[in-house]
């Protein structure tokens, strides 16, 4: 069985291999985009005879202050969703039935462990 030191070295080596592979992949994607980018739609899916599929689209960032202002102006036609996030400090201050009620609105799921090696 491998030691923790051996596995740490193996992990670090594999991490570097992934970084190099990612750089190569991004370089190839850039070359592909230079070749076909002008023919791609602003948003949509393009399938090529080679089996390659490119999905394009736009990220949208909402100005929160402007959206709040528009809520009053547009009323029921307000085209935004409000996103609720847990304020852990305030949650930890809750007790009893209040905490129970909030817990019913939460779903807990384990995070994927994060690994790193200090160099």
Provide the pLDDT for residue 70.
83
94/88 Cα distance (integer angstroms): 10
Per-residue pLDDT tens over the stretch 27-45: 999 999 999 999 999 999 9
Per-residue pLDDT tens over the stretch 54-96: 999 988 888 888 888 888 877 777 788 878 889 999 999 999 9
Instruction: Measure CA 20 to chain center.
Output: 22
DSSP letter for each residue of 5-73: HHHHHHHHHHHHHHHHHHHHHHHHHHHHHHHHGGGS-SSEEEE-TTS-EEEE-------HHHHHHHHHH
CA atoms within 13 A on the CB side of 95: 1
User: At residue 24, does pLDDT exceed 90?
Assistant: yes
Evaluate if pTM is beyond 0.75: no
Distant-in-sequence, close-in-space partners of 71: CB < 8 Å, separation ≥ 6:
78, 80
Residue with tokens 């929160």: 64
User: At residue 20, does pLDDT exceed 90?
Assistant: yes
Indicate the pLDDT class of residue 5, thresholds 50, 70 and 90. Answer: very high
Indicate the pLDDT class of residue 53, thresholds 50, 70 and 90. Answer: very high
């Amino acid at each position: 069985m491998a030691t923790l030191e051996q596995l740490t070295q193996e992990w670090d080596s594999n991490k570097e291999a992934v970084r190099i592979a990612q750089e190569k992949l991004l370089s190839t994607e850039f070359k592909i985009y230079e070749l076909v980018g002008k023919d791609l739609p602003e948003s949509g899916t393009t399938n090529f005879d080679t089996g390659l599929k490119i999905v394009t689209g736009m990220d949208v960032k909402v100005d929160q202050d402007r959206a709040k202002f528009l809520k009053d102006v547009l009323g029921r036609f307000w085209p935004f969703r409000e996103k609720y996030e847990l304020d852990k400090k305030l949650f930890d201050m809750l007790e009893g039935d209040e905490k129970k009620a909030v817990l019913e609105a939460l779903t807990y799921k384990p995070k994927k462990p994060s690994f790193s090696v200090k160099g």
